[in-house]
């Protein structure tokens, strides 16, 4: 059996998305800035895509700026708010300890430029406390940036409440919604969002394209200077075919969202129940307030990397920690943020199901993980010490 269970890392492009991009590579390949008809047809298509995308999140088309993906959108959102803050003498930013590195590393850079950053704790359940967030606000806070859904443990943040508090205090609110857009309903107005990042390849669109929503009145600062594309806010000839595919993928995702979420939630819970039966294991993050397809476990006494390799032998693609940090010896900053100690965090497994997942596949994953965990523990010195009582079990 071949099972792709790493949809939080990236997704397979949908047929609809692929079909939507081909005409813009083969026929309507004109530069949208050109005045002749194949350029203008590309331009019209681009604006239609902008409207379609805006409609899915309740935005105005003029509030959508196309980017090269989630990382660029995150960076531009943070830079824009920081630039505005600096002008007003406000150099304080509130965020959370388990943001994506596109946010955390951009914050590091801002710190080196004189900004002060408060990283809120995310607690054992992986959820920010709104009262703690409000208490962290200061007179000189120029931005609150908190993700909608975490990419490793899938936990959902109280975005609407956070947005309402920010609104009441007049502080701009950015959310990295890369894991949520196309999977869960988002309404930027009702959710009180000023800036939002999204990426096409997380909802069955192509890699290398995404968008930044910026509420009217929130002034963007350029990351990329050059031509006047994107109302002068993001230079560079537009990725027309990619943008067309992104819009098609998002419309398709929005149309099937409620049904997909319900089916995936049931499969997710079946997977969680099955893996919970493995002794000395624990689910990471809240059991209910999490993405429909996300399952993340720690198994004591094993190494996540070995587990991944053996799962791959069984045809299962999954991840441990986050794709971006694998290759480094440090355990995931997300698992540390929810209080997992190093040894336990090293034995983590993330399974992110796709919309086409089946019960049969979930049961195969459960059987395979059980088998492999038992096998690995069989010759793990760490497990031997735990079993003999030399070191105490944590899970
Ligand atoms: C994938 C991801 C990103 C980065 O998006 P890219 O399009 O790959 O640059 C940012 N934030 C979150 C939460 C993600 O899951």
Domain borders along the chain are: 15-255, 257-387
**Distance between Cα 89 and ligand 1 center (Å):** 30
- Residue 177: closest CA among 280, 83, 102, 97: 102
Check if 241 has its Cβ closer than 6 Å to any atom of ligand 1: no
Q: What number of residues does the chain have?
A: 395
Ligand 1 atom closest to the Cα of residue 207 is 7
**Distance between Cα 379 and ligand 1 center (Å):** 37
Ligand 1 atom closest to the Cα of residue 99 is 13
Q: Which residue has the least CA distance to atom 6 on ligand 1?
A: 70
Nearest-angstrom CA–CA distance, 253 and 204? 8
| pLDDT tens profile 127-156 | 999 999 999 999 999 999 999 999 999 999
Q: What is the pLDDT of residue 324?
A: 46
Q: What is the pLDDT of residue 328?
A: 60
Ligand 1 atom closest to the Cα of residue 199 is 7
Q: What is the pLDDT of residue 327?
A: 55
What's the token pair of residue 294? 């996300």
Residue whose CB lies within 8 A of the most ligand 1 atoms, among 74, 102, 105, 181, for a mutation test: 102
Check if 202 has its Cβ closer than 6 Å to any atom of ligand 1: yes
Nearest-angstrom CA–CA distance, 32 and 323? 35
Q: Which residues of 34-71 are buried (b: 16+ CB within 10 A; e: fewer)?
A: eeeeebebbbebbeebbebbbebbbbeeebbbbbbbbb
Catalytic positions, written as ranges: 324
Q: Which residue has the least CA distance to atom 15 on ligand 1?
A: 151
Average pLDDT across the chain, whole number: 96
Kindly state the average pLDDT of the residues 203-210: 98
Q: What is the pLDDT of residue 374?
A: 98
CB atoms within 10 A of CB 303: 17
**Distance between Cα 10 and ligand 1 center (Å):** 9
**Distance between Cα 105 and ligand 1 center (Å):** 13
| pLDDT tens profile 114-131 | 999 999 999 999 999 999
What's the token pair of residue 184? 């869960």
Check if 70 has its Cβ closer than 6 Å to any atom of ligand 1: yes
Check if 151 has its Cβ closer than 6 Å to any atom of ligand 1: yes
- Give residue 323's pLDDT band: very low, low, confident or very high (50, 70, 90): very low
Strands 281-283 and 294-299: antiparallel
Residue whose CB lies within 8 A of the most ligand 1 atoms, among 95, 178, 319, for a mutation test: 178
Residue whose CB lies within 8 A of the most ligand 1 atoms, among 101, 176, 200, 206, for a mutation test: 176
Residue with more model confidence, 321 or 145:
145
Nearest-angstrom CA–CA distance, 87 and 160? 28
Percent of the chain past pLDDT 90, that is, above it, reads: 97
Kindly state the average pLDDT of the residues 167-191: 98
| pLDDT tens profile 256-282 | 999 999 999 999 999 999 999 999 999
**Distance between Cα 209 and ligand 1 center (Å):** 11
pLDDT exceeds cutoff 90 at 330: no
Residue with more model confidence, 328 or 214:
214
Strands, E assignment, the chain: 3-4, 64-67, 92-96, 116-120, 141-145, 173-176, 195-199, 210-214, 281-283, 294-299, 316-317, 348-352
- Residue 77: closest CA among 184, 163, 148, 175: 175
What's the token pair of residue 272? 């969680």
Q: Is 108 helix (H, G, I), strand (E, B) or coil?
A: helix
Nearest-angstrom CA–CA distance, 101 and 108? 10
344 Cα distance to chain centroid: 23
Q: What is the pLDDT of residue 377?
A: 97
Check if 100 has its Cβ closer than 6 Å to any atom of ligand 1: yes
- Residue 170: closest CA among 151, 142, 129, 128: 142
Q: Which residue has the least CA distance to atom 10 on ligand 1?
A: 70
CATH of domain 257-387: 3.90.1150.10
Q: Is 202 helix (H, G, I), strand (E, B) or coil?
A: helix
> Is domain 15-255 classified as CATH 3.40.640.10?
yes
- Give residue 321's pLDDT band: very low, low, confident or very high (50, 70, 90): confident
pTM value is: 0.97
What's the token pair of residue 39? 């350029």
Sequence-ordered list of residues with C-beta below 8 angstroms from that of 44, at least 6 positions apart, any chain: none
- Give residue 239's pLDDT band: very low, low, confident or very high (50, 70, 90): very high
Residue whose CB lies within 8 A of the most ligand 1 atoms, among 70, 74, 104, 196, for a mutation test: 70
Check if 147 has its Cβ closer than 6 Å to any atom of ligand 1: yes
Ligand 1 atom closest to the Cα of residue 71 is 9
Q: Which residue has the least CA distance to atom 14 on ligand 1?
A: 178
pLDDT exceeds cutoff 50 at 387: yes
What's the token pair of residue 190? 């009702």
**Distance between Cα 322 and ligand 1 center (Å):** 11
Check if 76 has its Cβ closer than 6 Å to any atom of ligand 1: no
Kindly state the average pLDDT of the residues 93-119: 98
């Amino acid at each position: 059996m071949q099972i792709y269970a790493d949809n939080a890392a990236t997704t397979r492009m949908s047929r609809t998305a692929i079909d939507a991009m081909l005409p813009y590579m083969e026929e309507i390949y004109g530069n949208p800035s050109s005045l002749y008809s194949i350029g203008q047809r590309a331009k019209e298509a681009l604006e239609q895509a902008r409207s379609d995308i805006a409609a899915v999140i309740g935005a105005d088309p003029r509030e959508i700026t196309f980017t090269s993906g989630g990382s660029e959108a995150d960076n531009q959102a943070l830079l824009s708010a920081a630039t505005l803050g600096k002008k007003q003498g406000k150099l304080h930013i509130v965020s959370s300890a388990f943001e994506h590195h596109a946010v955390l590393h951009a914050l590091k850079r801002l710190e080196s430029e004189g900004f002060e950053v408060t990283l809120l704790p995310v607690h054992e359940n992986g959820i920010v406390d709104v009262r703690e967030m409000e208490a962290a606000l200061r007179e000189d806070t120029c931005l609150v940036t908190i993700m909608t859904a975490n990419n490793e443990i899938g936990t959902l943040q109280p975005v609407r409440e956070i947005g309402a508090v920010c609104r009441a205090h007049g502080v701009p609110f950015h959310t990295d919604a890369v894991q949520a857009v196309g999977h869960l309903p988002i309404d930027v107005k009702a959710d009180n969002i000023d800036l939002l990042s999204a990426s096409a390849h997380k909802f069955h669109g192509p890699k290398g394209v995404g968008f930044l929503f910026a509420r009217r009145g929130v002034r963007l600062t350029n990351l990329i200077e050059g031509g006047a594309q994107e109302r002068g806010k993001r230079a560079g000839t537009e990725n027309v075919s990619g943008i067309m595919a992104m819009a098609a993928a998002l419309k398709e995702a929005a149309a099937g969202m409620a049904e997909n979420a319900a089916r995936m939630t049931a499969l997710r819970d079946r997977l969680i129940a099955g893996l919970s039966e493995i002794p000395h294991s624990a689910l990471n993050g809240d059991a209910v307030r999490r993405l429909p397809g996300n399952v993340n476990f720690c198994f004591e006494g094993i190494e996540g990397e070995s587990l991944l390799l053996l799962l791959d032998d069984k045809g299962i693609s999954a991840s441990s920690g986050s794709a971006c940090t694998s290759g480094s010896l440090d355990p995931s900053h997300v698992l540390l943020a929810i209080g997992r100690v190093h040894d336990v965090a090293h034995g983590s497994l993330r399974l992110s199901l796709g919309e086409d997942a089946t019960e049969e596949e979930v049961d195969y994953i459960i059987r395979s993980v059980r088998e492999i965990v038992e096998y690995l523990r069989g010759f793990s010195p760490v497990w031997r010490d735990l079993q003999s009582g030399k070191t105490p079990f944590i899970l």
